[in-house]
């Protein structure tokens, strides 16, 4: 127990790990909240419609929702009680609950029909045997009655894939800290010489890793449940698990609460597989680079098997039993599925349990064999044959600045973390489409180019058409014989009016502008320049600032704490050389992380929204029509990248200067996070005026341009 306590204290002393843990927990929660907010309805609306539907008979729920949908089509004259997004969400959920007994009956009927078809290749094939086993698998859930309740909170918590990625990254950091730090510091010979020996030391380290795995799983997915419960509610946990939309085809006769327990236990077991494999790699590797490469290969191969091996192929066993599949618990327990085991169907649930046991046993055995039986492995730097001569060469001052920051002060950890965060954030880029947006793209694409008489004629024609439709609607309503179907048809013909008004406003703005504006689809550029009210720039600002503070805050402050500055100032480089190299390193880090986020973001904008209008004047966009400086959209994009990169470089230098004013890393962390990260976080949360405070407007560029435009307009009034 004393050895375990010492190992725990050493892990707690790794402060950077806990800072990263806190940041990733905030990122995990923010992504889930953002996903929930993108649905188009609030949690209170969702709870309200559930409460309303539960007051009526189940058979009347579809009619009520259909009535609400029809009322929504009548515009402002008879508006529905709930938003159309919420009604669209509830209609399939209610239909599935009411039709559950019929679906169970259809499973048996379809099994008999499919078995009679010759396309399955006969009775000695996996497909035929799998069809025969399906109906008995659902006998346990026959007679279950589903009821409507709040389910979105649990669905969001259980299907939040970002938590899986963040969990794997945190586990890799923890395993590396537990298994490698003693070797890097040269402590392993002393620890091996202790009376308890290597075996006890390994058991303690693996036990600590297992405990941290449990803690990370509970933290991430417990946070998901907490957020889901606060936003939508969790409902009655004693109801059947099939009441949850994504678990509708589950064949386990368990309640929602029981499934949650099963989910957490299996998720912990899946994460333990990764943790123990990481530990085995650390025990075998001679240096950190080997650990990073081998761990990356293991994770990459796991996810390649999971994503690219066909589900119905003869190799499907490698897909369903890959560690990536074992972490995806809902695919194991959320439906009935068999794997192809030499032509015979074998339950995926049982196979997953066996695979977890075998992988854990193998990983622990390999780790024990390498850790206990092999000779003492000391930490060694990576040296390639072609680069051995470099050891006899004197490196420059800038090399030692990089080496101290990235290697000695573990700066490589936030570097890997920010690359991982940038990849996750970039992969989550989504183009949000609504009916108005689709119509607006259609109008601008059809009328693309310089404004002509044809554009004016198009606008007049649409206005006359809308006027006729309004008169017809008014006549129907005043006649007292209003037909709901006829009214709905007329309102559907006016669905594109919102997009047309946006198109017409832009047409008028271009005509009033001094520049020779053009018409093109500009929603992508509006998003890039922050004209549609998005917070993409604020999200990037927050991640950039967190990374720079984690990387640069301890550098100069630690030099002051250890009085290293006195030694460095006395060298040939002197004080001037010290600060020159430090500020250069800071600026390069700031510019690199800015480009890491902004270049993929601009590429996604151009790919998803198109590149039309790049050479057109910026004044072709409604928000920029009054801008006095005529420049193209392409020039504005280049200017945005230059300003954001330069601002990030300047911010990084300011962080280093502030760190130099602190006498130890902890005050430096507190000071830099308070000055730089806190305003960015408050701006992202929507606190008024925060987006234009501190370095936020410079890193954003959009806020800087917007503030300058407002001041210019007030000056000319």
| Per-residue pLDDT reduced to its tens digit, 414-429 | 888 888 888 888 877 8
Residue (of 409, 361, 337, 375) closest to 183 by Cα position: 375
Q: Is residue 119 over pLDDT 50?
A: no
Average pLDDT over the chain, rounded to whole?
Answer: 81
Q: Print the SS3 string covering 299-358.
A: HHHHHHHHHHCCCCCCCHHHHHCCHHHHHCHHHHHCCCCEEEECCEEEEHHHHHHHHHHH
Q: Is residue 197 over pLDDT 70?
A: no
Q: Is residue 613 over pLDDT 90?
A: no
| Residues 11, 186: Cα–Cα separation, whole Å | 17
Q: Is residue 80 over pLDDT 80?
A: no
Gyration radius of the chain over CA positions: 31
Pairing of β 518-519 and β 449-450: antiparallel
Q: What is the pLDDT of residues 536-557, one digit of tens each?
A: 888 899 899 999 998 998 888 8
| Residues 598, 590: Cα–Cα separation, whole Å | 12
Least confident range from 266-275, 408-417, 562-571: namely: 562-571
- Length, in residues, of the chain: 717
What is the share, in percent, of the chain residues with pLDDT greater than 70? 86
Planar angle of CA 235, 236, 238, nearest 5 degrees: 145
Q: In the prediction, which pLDDT does 110 show?
A: 64
Pairing of β 518-519 and β 344-347: unpaired
When pLDDT is cut at 50, 70 and 90, the band that residue 120 belongs to is: very low
Q: Is residue 390 over pLDDT 60?
A: no
When pLDDT is cut at 50, 70 and 90, the band that residue 375 belongs to is: low
Q: Is residue 707 over pLDDT 60?
A: no
Residue with tokens 């000391």: 378
Q: Is residue 717 over pLDDT 80?
A: no
Q: Is residue 624 over pLDDT 70?
A: yes
> No. of H helices and E strands in the chain?
32, 4
When pLDDT is cut at 50, 70 and 90, the band that residue 590 belongs to is: very high
Q: Is residue 132 over pLDDT 50?
A: yes
DSSP 615: T
When pLDDT is cut at 50, 70 and 90, the band that residue 113 belongs to is: low
More confident: 568 or 717? 568
Residue range 608-615: mean pLDDT, rounded: 89
Alpha helices in 562-695 (DSSP H): 564-569, 574-609, 633-660, 665-672, 678-684
Q: In the prediction, which pLDDT does 603 show?
A: 94
Q: Is residue 17 over pLDDT 70?
A: yes
When pLDDT is cut at 50, 70 and 90, the band that residue 384 belongs to is: very low
Q: In the prediction, which pLDDT does 196 show?
A: 63
Residues 6+ apart with CB under 8 A from 662: 557, 560, 668, 671
Which token pair is 353? 């349990």
In terms of C-beta density within 10 A (0-12 exposed, 13-18 middle, 19 or more buried), how is residue 640 classed? Answer: buried
Residue range 59-86: mean pLDDT, rounded: 69
Q: Print the SS3 string covering 284-298.
A: HCCCHHHHHHHHHHH
Most confident of 10-19, 43-52, 288-297: 43-52
Q: What is the pLDDT of residues 626-636, one digit of tens each?
A: 887 888 899 99
When pLDDT is cut at 50, 70 and 90, the band that residue 260 belongs to is: very high
Q: In the prediction, which pLDDT does 137 show?
A: 79
> 164-177 as b/e, with b when 16 or more CB fall inside 10 Å?
bbbbbbbbbbbbbb
More confident: 398 or 275? 275
Q: What is the pTM of this model?
A: 0.67
Q: Where are the beta strands (DSSP E) in 81-180?
A: none
Residue range 63-92: mean pLDDT, rounded: 70
What is the share, in percent, of the chain residues with pLDDT greater than 90? 15
């Amino acid at each position: 127990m004393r050895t375990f306590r010492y190992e725990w204290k050493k892990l707690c002393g790794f402060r950077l790990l806990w800072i990263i843990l806190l940041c990733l927990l905030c990122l995990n929660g923010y992504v889930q909240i953002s996903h929930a907010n993108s649905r188009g309805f609030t949690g209170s609306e969702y709870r309200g419609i559930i409460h309303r539907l539960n007051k009526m008979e189940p058979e009347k729920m579809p009619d009520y929702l259909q009535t609400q949908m029809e009322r929504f089509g009548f515009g402002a004259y008879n508006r529905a009680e709930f938003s159309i997004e919420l009604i669209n969400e509830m209609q399939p959920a209610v239909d599935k609950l009411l039709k559950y007994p019929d679906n169970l009956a259809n499973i048996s009927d379809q099994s008999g029909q499919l078995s009679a078809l010759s396309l399955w290749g006969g009775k000695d094939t996996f497909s035929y045997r799998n069809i025969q086993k399906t109906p008995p698998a659902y006998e346990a859930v026959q007679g279950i009655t589903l009821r409507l309740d709040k389910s979105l909170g649990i669905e969001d918590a259980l299907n939040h894939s970002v938590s899986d990625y963040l969990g794997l990254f945190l586990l890799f950091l923890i395993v590396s800290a537990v298994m490698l730090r003693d070797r890097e510091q040269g402590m392993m010979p002393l620890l091996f010489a202790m009376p308890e020996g290597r075996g006890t030391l390994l058991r303690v380290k693996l036990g600590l890793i297992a405990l941290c795995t449990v803690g990370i799983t509970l933290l991430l997915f417990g946070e998901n449940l907490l957020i889901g419960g606060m936003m939508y509610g969790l409902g009655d946990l004693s109801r059947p698990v099939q009441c949850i939309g994504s678990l509708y085809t589950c064949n386990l006769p368990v309640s929602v609460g029981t499934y949650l327990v099963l989910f957490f236990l299996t998720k912990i077991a899946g994460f333990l597989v990764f943790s123990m494999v990481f530990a085995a790699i650390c025990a075998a590797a001679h240096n950190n680079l080997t650990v990073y490469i081998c761990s990356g290969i293991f994770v990459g191969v796991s996810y390649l098997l999971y994503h690219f091996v066909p589900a119905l192929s003869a190799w499907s066993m490698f897909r369903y039993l890959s560690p990536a599949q074992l972490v995806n618990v809902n695919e194991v327990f959320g439906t009935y599925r068999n794997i192809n085991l030499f032509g015979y169907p074998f339950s995926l649930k049982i196979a997953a349990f066996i695979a977890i046991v075998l992988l854990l046993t193998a990983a622990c055995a390999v780790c024990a064999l390498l850790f206990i039986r092999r000779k003492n492995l000391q930490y060694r730097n990576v040296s390639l044959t072609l680069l051995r001569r470099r050891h006899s060469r004197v490196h420059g001052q800038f090399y030692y600045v990089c080496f101290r920051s990235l290697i000695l002060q573990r700066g490589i950890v936030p570097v890997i973390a920010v690359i991982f965060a940038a990849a996750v954030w970039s992969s989550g880029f989504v183009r949000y489409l609504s009916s108005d947006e689709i119509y607006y793209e259609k109008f601008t694409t059809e009328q693309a180019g310089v404004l002509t008489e044809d554009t004016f004629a198009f606008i007049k024609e649409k206005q006359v058409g809308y006027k006729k439709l309004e008169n017809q609607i008014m006549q129907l309503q005043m006649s007292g014989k209003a037909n709901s179907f006829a009214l709905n048809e007329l309102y559907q013909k006016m669905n594109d009016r919102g997009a047309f008004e946006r198109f017409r406003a832009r047409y008028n703005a271009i005509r009033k502008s001094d520049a020779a504006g053009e018409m093109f689809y500009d929603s992508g550029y509006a998003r890039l320049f922050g004209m549609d009210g998005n917070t993409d720039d604020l999200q990037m600002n927050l991640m950039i600032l967190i990374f720079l503070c984690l990387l640069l805050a301890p550098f100069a402050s630690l030099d002051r704490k250890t009085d290293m500055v006195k030694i460095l100032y006395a060298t040939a480089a002197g004080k001037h050389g010290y600060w020159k190299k430090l500020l250069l390193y800071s600026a390069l880090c700031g510019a690199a992380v800015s480009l890491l986020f902004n270049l993929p973001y601009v590429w996604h904008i151009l790919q998803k929204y198109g590149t039309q209008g790049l050479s057109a004047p910026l004044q072709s966009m409604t928000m920029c029509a009054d801008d006095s400086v005529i420049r193209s959209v392409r020039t504005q994009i280049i200017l945005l990248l230059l300003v954001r990169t330069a601002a990030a470089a300047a911010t990084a230098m300011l962080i280093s200067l502030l760190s130099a004013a602190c006498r130890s890393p902890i005050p430096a962390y507190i000071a830099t996070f308070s000055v730089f990260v806190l305003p960015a976080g408050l701006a992202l949360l929507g606190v008024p005026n925060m987006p234009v405070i501190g370095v936020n407007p410079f890193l954003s560029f959009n806020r800087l341009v917007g503030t300058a435009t407002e001041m210019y307009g007030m000056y000319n009034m």
